[in-house]
Structure 1
């Protein structure tokens, strides 16, 4: 763990530099295309009037470039980053091609800089992950260690982009690591810490969307309405997710090579930009207006409709760009619109709740959504309504949709991915609790004669494993089966001894080992049964088989589905034994 943590420190610094480079590159492309100037300042299209042909043509041109880069460079640059990182972890042994580390941020900068309504976070997750993976591939490491460095780079890039260290860590745990263990958690935190410190020198330490929450007074009414915002945000998340994959299905039916799809998606973006130019690009300035209560009704409605449509439809084309910034904007617009109907709290209060709700519904990561919102705004006093809003959206999304915008894409590639975490039932039972205890008949010493009478006594053992012990101290010396013993019994020969049918014991399980440890040992050795020994005396006390491991699963299934009344009804407790025994005739 310590060695990987040391490497993660390096990855964290590299991830912060990659985040800075991507943001500068997006700014450069945006300024060149829409403002015809050389500048790396991050600005969105729509800050001034643009010619209609530029608004319509720039996204199409960007889509053509991205399609060519994907076809002739690497197809891995397609998509919004996080599903690709998850797929690399699940199926690729956490190996990412070095060229992806270059092509992904360049393609994202072109996509966003030419008007794509996407965010920088997905590409930086893939880019930071590629940096960690490349470093790991240069060293002699396991797949789990490569995964840790990949996720460290992804989380570092995320933290450096949004100045959100805790949200980046939660994102890593909820979406990428598939575990919560010190061996991976500690390196990820180390990388995020370094990236956040570096971000302070590179981009500053201020929140990305600062909100003044002074004077906020929470009431039960606000908390109840926060749940309403959550439910509407969850419904919007469901609709947007549905549109993304219906659009993907529609593009898949086109009689064109997928290389041309991003250009068609660019045409959709351009048409939307003609209606609402401020829906183009990453739009951090628009998000800031929505979260601080400065957005006009026209901007709110334009973002809520146009941004949702062009983001959902164009993302299905397989172009390059992230989902978080668009989700921030869409959620902020929804909350800001609802805030015109709800009681006033502080400027931007309802927009902030809408942001957390849509993130919780789209990403299916409610904790990440809450912490992300708090770190983006520093509106710490809004913790409770944020939790209510994000959880309500998450609940609705989980009830209505089988998978999220991230896991649906993974499932469509033939992979199964669960986002639910629970204790492994194999960890809750010990070998001594499920083993078959040894009785006197099944206890064999190496010098016992193999007689027909002894075989009849072992009739119930069939082909089960039989431990063989030392005659003197009773310690385990080997194993045999009834079938091997039966081979020593013939009418013409002198009875053989158990020792002649004994094999060396390849695996002995301690009675204090968990069933998970036993399952791993079975997997390592290819065996399906083993003697269980007392670790203090090294004497066998039972036999455990692969079938016995199902006991834990059966117990878990029973805990989930078996319903019973534990406490009796009041009517039952009121009936005394005498009253219960009395009959109507007795009463008469």
Structure 2
């Protein structure tokens, strides 16, 4: 008898290993499909932005600055205003039909939330509605980036493809990262940066089990994008001359300090303006549907004088790299682009912050380099060199993703000669931003929804696991006395443990929010702690395998 039991156990272990190998094969296969599908989604998203931009400015997204400069004053001003009304209409329909919550677009922070809270689930309707809002916002001149919405779209595609295939929560999170990596890869033609962005920003770990399928998805997306759009960097900077490491690296460190201060100021401006706009609307009973047109009025007014603030801004970056702007204009553009982006995001236009960070950084670095060329002619590298460093330093500090941002700049420019200086500047800028602001843009967005990811896995588990998931269900019984302590099914595990400690009880009855006097379950302290410990162990295994 013991031998038969041993044989059965051995057979079960072998079967489990085979099933695990099958799961790995399924994950890798789906990762490649997600990569290709996300690439086509991003290509379609970019075409949609170009179509709106052509209607608004007579040029596609790559020529917005030139197109806006050639229009009459009123026509250039009207483009983001009309775009704001269209965005309001989409938000109204999305809110009425429950496609988007809270009357706002979605981006990278929502993907992080899906990974941490909902097990990788993103609604298809929410993904399509958010992409539509962002395409109209950016194409009509809103000062925002396309990469954040693209990441959300890629993650949506991943969520839809893996939803009904019976994957574990770990695999669903990995596949969500596949969609995000594919979107970054397709947006920037940057497959390496796509992998690291998904691991660094979306998943928050570098587990080996996650790396393989995410790399496969990123490569598949790059192949599809290169077939349809070509294989070349987004920017082709001119030659920046000789680099003197003994001089230029310390100067790059100094630029990193300035970029960190600029990134901190930008983050604080966006945060404060968002809060101020919300309070202004609430105090005066103004519907959120009026905010996009109001934002369009302000952005359009800035764009009349400085069309460089319109849209993603890559044409302005190319001009800055080519030395087309004077120092004083570059400094003004740093301020105007930051202000226009803060208005755009706070007034519920769709879009991300990575491209504005690149643009602001390019202006900042070009101004810094031009100033050095005038003070020390011929002794330092050209302004182009510092413009590329500024791109990485500001955007990396804003995103809180120094590793993937550094690689994105490499793959955007094709210039690896700036390696040492770029890493130094990005590290210093990120350090200053974390010291002054304490968090990245995405973590600030999540904190407004009640999630503090800086607390690590233990904090996330306590805030996202609900009482209904761990309680012992009970049949309906006698009503609970009005003065009796109780827990609610929708309470977080952390709140439930705090309540148990406060009541000094080993367990408490659980009621539903709809009927707070009717007992539907019971949660003991032992069961709550056991569920918490198991979730911690599972999280640890996922992060280290």
TM range (shorter): 0.7 to 0.9
5 Å matches for 1:100-179? 100-179=126-205
8 Å CA contact 1:56–1:273 kept in 2: the answer is yes
Give CA deviations for 1:123-146 in whole Å, capped at 9, x if unaligned. Answer: 100001100001111321222222
Equivalent-residue separation in structure 1 for 2:121 and 2:242 (angstroms) = 48
Tell me what 1:14 maps to. Answer: 37
Residues 138, 43 of structure 1: CA spacing in aligned structure 2 closer, same or farther, 3 A cutoff? Answer: farther
Structure 1 vs Structure 2 CA RMSD: 2.6
Tell me if 1:412 matches 2:448: yes
Equivalent-residue separation in structure 2 for 1:376 and 1:92 (angstroms) = 33
Query: Which protein has greater RCO, CA pairs closer than 8 Å, 6+ apart?
Result: 2
Tell me if 1:62 matches 2:54: no
5 Å matches for 1:31-430? 31-35=54-58, 42-47=62-67, 48-73=69-94, 74-75=99-100, 78-79=104-105, 81-213=107-239, 215-253=241-279, 254=281, 255-297=285-327, 299-343=329-373, 344-346=380-382, 348-418=384-454
How many residues end up aligned between the 2 structures?
A: 430
5 Å matches for 1:479-490? none
Equivalent-residue separation in structure 2 for 1:220 and 1:198 (angstroms) = 42
Structure 1 residue 256, shift from structure 2 partner = 1.6
Structure 1 residue 324, shift from structure 2 partner = 1.1
Equivalent-residue separation in structure 2 for 1:127 and 1:108 (angstroms) = 11
Structure 1 residue 63, shift from structure 2 partner = 1.8
Residues 53, 61 of structure 1: CA spacing in aligned structure 2 closer, same or farther, 3 A cutoff? Answer: same
8 Å CA contact 2:61–2:311 kept in 1: the answer is no
Equivalent-residue separation in structure 1 for 2:300 and 2:111 (angstroms) = 29
Residues 80, 387 of structure 1: CA spacing in aligned structure 2 closer, same or farther, 3 A cutoff? Answer: farther
Equivalent-residue separation in structure 2 for 1:23 and 1:525 (angstroms) = 43
Structure 1 residue 215, shift from structure 2 partner = 4.3
Equivalent-residue separation in structure 2 for 1:208 and 1:331 (angstroms) = 16
Task: Report SS of the residue matched to 2:70.
Answer: coil
Q: TM-score, normalised to structure 2's length?
A: 0.74
Task: Report SS of the residue matched to 1:167.
Answer: helix
Equivalent-residue separation in structure 1 for 2:179 and 2:449 (angstroms) = 24
Bigger share in helix: 2
Structure 1 residue 53, shift from structure 2 partner = 2.3
Structure 1 residue 79, shift from structure 2 partner = 4.3
Give CA deviations for 1:492-511 in whole Å, capped at 9, x if unaligned. Answer: xxxxxxxxxxxxxxxxxxxx
Q: TM-score, normalised to structure 1's length?
A: 0.69
Residues 346, 298 of structure 1: CA spacing in aligned structure 2 closer, same or farther, 3 A cutoff? Answer: closer
Task: Report SS of the residue matched to 1:44.
Answer: helix
Tell me what 2:46 maps to. Answer: 23
Residues 108, 399 of structure 1: CA spacing in aligned structure 2 closer, same or farther, 3 A cutoff? Answer: same
5 Å matches for 1:571-582? none
8 Å CA contact 1:24–1:42 kept in 2: the answer is no
Structure 1 residue 105, shift from structure 2 partner = 2.1
Residues 524, 406 of structure 1: CA spacing in aligned structure 2 closer, same or farther, 3 A cutoff? Answer: closer
8 Å CA contact 1:61–1:263 kept in 2: the answer is yes
Residues 130, 526 of structure 1: CA spacing in aligned structure 2 closer, same or farther, 3 A cutoff? Answer: closer
Task: Report SS of the residue matched to 2:171.
Answer: helix
Task: Report SS of the residue matched to 1:116.
Answer: coil
Structure 1 residue 292, shift from structure 2 partner = 3.9
Equivalent-residue separation in structure 1 for 2:409 and 2:125 (angstroms) = 33
Structure 1 residue 419, shift from structure 2 partner = 8.6
Deviates more, 1:252-261 or 1:209-218: 209-218
- Runs of 5+ unmatched residues, structure 2: 1-23, 374-379, 459-525, 538-545
Equivalent-residue separation in structure 2 for 1:214 and 1:361 (angstroms) = 24
Structure 1 residue 400, shift from structure 2 partner = 0.9
8 Å CA contact 1:364–1:394 kept in 2: the answer is yes
Bigger radius of gyration, 1 or 2? 1
Equivalent-residue separation in structure 1 for 2:533 and 2:450 (angstroms) = 28
Structure 1 residue 45, shift from structure 2 partner = 4.1
Give CA deviations for 1:507-563 in whole Å, capped at 9, x if unaligned. Answer: xxxxxxxxxxxx99x846999xxxxxxxxxxxxxxxxxx9xx9xxxxxxxxxxxxxx
Deviates more, 1:367-376 or 1:389-398: 367-376
Equivalent-residue separation in structure 2 for 1:358 and 1:194 (angstroms) = 29
Equivalent-residue separation in structure 2 for 1:89 and 1:160 (angstroms) = 21
Tell me what 2:466 maps to. Answer: none
Give CA deviations for 1:279-308 in whole Å, capped at 9, x if unaligned. Answer: 211121111122343434465234212111
Equivalent-residue separation in structure 1 for 2:409 and 2:532 (angstroms) = 49
8 Å CA contact 2:106–2:130 kept in 1: the answer is no
Task: Report SS of the residue matched to 1:414.
Answer: coil
Give CA deviations for 1:379-419 in whole Å, capped at 9, x if unaligned. Answer: 10110000110001011011111211110110111011129
Equivalent-residue separation in structure 2 for 1:526 and 1:417 (angstroms) = 18
Equivalent-residue separation in structure 1 for 2:153 and 2:63 (angstroms) = 22
8 Å CA contact 1:238–1:400 kept in 2: the answer is yes
